[in-house]
Amino acid sequence: MMDFSQIIPALPALTDGMLLTLRLLGLSVVGGVVLGTLLALARLSDRRVLSGLAKFYVNYFRSIPLLLVISWFYLVVPLIYNWLTGSFEPVGAFTSCLVAFVMFEAAYYAEIVRAGIQAIPKGQVNAAYALGMGYGQAMRLIVLPQAFRKMTPLFLQQSIILFQDTSLVYAVGLLDFLNTARSKGDIVGLPHEFLIFAGAVYFVISFGATLLVKRLQKRFAV
């Protein structure tokens, strides 16, 4: 028979784990969108070298498992940091995972941004040029604001996937929500109950966010 009585005493630790998950999610989304936008602009550039490098980056990171990327950066980020700074201060697992998520998710956000930019009629860009705007001004003032409005549901959908993927940090021992639930379950001898509870929490958050995405898709539909 299932016994969920030990979950309430464990809520403070589970809350800390969820806060870490949400902090990792938020920073990864911001960093991924910024880097993804730069990659999208590079892919749309007329310069073949720049476009080719951006295309290689996107295709590469979209072709390898995220768990492998997390493991790589967990080992590589401290080495690069120590080489750049000349110090031997330890780099925490959170920082390594954050870099891994930003680099990995940027490849997916780049494709979303690129599709959003290409969905804007070229006539608007030509009109901006006719008004004396440069490429940077046209993108910043005309194209990107409209593109981001169209892309908001897709950004949120990708962020839901990222929220679920944060559970993979168990591989490097980071105590996110899922790993905390698993550890607490093992300590009190109720692993199944804690994993069921964690799954229910992930479902509620993900399902609620999915409903929000559907509402935004209807609202932003042209």
Local confidence band at 91 (pLDDT 50, 70, 90 cut-offs)? confident
CA distances from 195 to 95, 176, 190, 202 (A): 26, 13, 9, 10
What are the structure tokens assigned to 90, written together?
Answer: 């330890």
Between 222 and 35, residue with greater pLDDT? 35
DSSP 3-state percent helix, strand, coil across the chain (nearest 5): 80, 0, 20
Domains of the chain in start order, with CATH, are 11-220 (1.10.3720.10)
pTM, to two decimals = 0.88
Q: Give the model's pLDDT for residue 160.
A: 93
Residue pLDDT, tens place only, 20-39: 999 999 999 999 999 999 99
Share of the chain above pLDDT 90, in %: 54
Mean pLDDT for 70-79 is 84
Instruction: Write the Ramachandran bin of 189: left for phi over 0, alpha for psi from -120 to 50, otherwise beta.
Output: left
Mean pLDDT across 71-76: 86
Written as one letter, the residue type at 31 is G
Write down the residue that tokens 């800390």 correspond to.
Answer: 16
pLDDT at res. 177 = 95
